[in-house]
């Protein structure tokens, strides 16, 4: 069964067996016994680091001697991990129960201490890259890869995100704007609909003719109204018999009526042509 301390087996078989027993106790939920076994593991490791000087020393004395010889931050972390493991083991020895979190923390600290111990002997940088696996501790199996369905879901999500980014880029680069000078969001979905409108010369010419016809019609209407106004402003005169209109006056009136009729028909015709174009 795989475990987190396989790297230790080829370096120190006795230490490997001690830590393997501790992991089995943790896996079987004997957390107090696990903490005691971890204390044994830490004590053996400390005595190996101190060497022959530790033969007749207790665990506390061994740790204190190592503490006095600290020369780097790595050595300080190594000693701190051993002190924590000893503390949890002593807690169980005095009849107290350790929490699951405390037992797990002790195993993790044993892992870090073992990393430093092996590196001090082999000087292999790959040892420093190892990571503790909680799943491997609890189940004895390495964490499985992502399921195939999860991979497809992740791929679809990435493709959707890429599509949205593409659409957003088209929107940002578009030159289409609304009346306020802001980008028209509909351009993203139907850019062909929002092409710039070209000026139609025929349509502009028709508009100009309509404008001139309206102006001419307005002038004629104003002329007739001014004639009536001038007549009403004349001083009163003696009533005289109005002579009968001669043929010339009748002819002029008919011409004016025909002209107004022509202008009206022209306006209607031109308006229809404008709508058609």
- pLDDT value at residue 67: 92
Q: What is the pTM of this model?
A: 0.51
Report the chain's mean pLDDT, rounded to a whole number. Answer: 78
pLDDT tens readout for residues 184-227: 444 444 555 545 555 677 777 777 877 787 777 767 666 666 66
Among residues 181, 166, 263, 274, the alpha carbon closest in space to that of 221 is found at 263
Number of other CB atoms surrounding residue 98 within 10 Å: 21
In the block, residue with structure tokens 């696996």 = 133
Contact residues for 49 (Cβ-Cβ < 8 A; gap 6+): 66, 78, 117, 120
- pLDDT value at residue 242: 54
Six-digit token string for 88:
């949890």
Six-digit token string for 149:
């369905």
Assess whether pLDDT exceeds 80 at residue 177.
no
pLDDT tens readout for residues 83-105: 999 999 999 888 899 999 999 99
pLDDT tens readout for residues 231-272: 555 555 555 555 555 666 777 788 888 888 888 888 887 877
Alpha helices, H only, 128-147: 134-139
CA 196 to chain centre: 34
- pLDDT value at residue 207: 76
CA 35 to chain centre: 45
Give the length of the chain.
277
Strand partners, 183: 177
CA distance 91 to 106: 12
CA distance 173 to 242: 80
- pLDDT value at residue 183: 46
DSSP state of 28: T
CA distance 124 to 146: 30
């Amino acid at each position: 069964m795989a475990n987190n301390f396989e790297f230790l087996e080829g370096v120190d078989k006795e230490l490997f067996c001690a830590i393997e027993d501790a992991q089995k106790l943790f896996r079987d939920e004997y957390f107090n016994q696990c903490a005691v076994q971890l204390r044994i593991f830490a004590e053996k490791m400390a005595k190996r680091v101190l060497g022959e000087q530790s033969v007749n020393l207790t665990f506390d004395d061994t740790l204190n001697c190592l503490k006095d010889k600290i020369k780097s931050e790595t050595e300080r972390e190594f000693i701190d991990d051993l002190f924590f493991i000893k503390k949890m083991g002593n807690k169980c020895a005095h009849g107290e129960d350790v929490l699951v979190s405390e037992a797990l923390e002790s195993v993790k600290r044993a892992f870090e201490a073992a990393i430093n111990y092996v590196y001090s002997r082999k000087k292999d940088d790959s040892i420093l890259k190892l990571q503790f696996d909680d799943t491997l501790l609890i189940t004895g199996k390495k964490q499985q890869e992502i399921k195939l369905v999860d991979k497809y879901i992740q791929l679809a999500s990435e493709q959707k995100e890429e599509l949205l980014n593409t659409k957003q880029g088209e929107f940002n680069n578009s030159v289409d704007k609304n009346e306020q000078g802001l980008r028209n969001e509909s351009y993203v979905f139907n850019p062909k609909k929002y092409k710039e409108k070209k000026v139609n010369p025929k349509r502009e010419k028709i508009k100009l003719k309509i404008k001139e016809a309206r102006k001419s019609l307005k002038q004629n209407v104003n002329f007739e109204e001014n004639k009536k106004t001038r007549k009403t402003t004349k001083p009163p005169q003696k009533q005289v018999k109005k002579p009968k209109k001669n043929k010339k006056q009748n002819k002029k009136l008919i011409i004016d009526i025909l002209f107004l009729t022509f202008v009206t028909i022209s306006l209607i015709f031109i308006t229809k042509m404008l709508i058609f174009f």
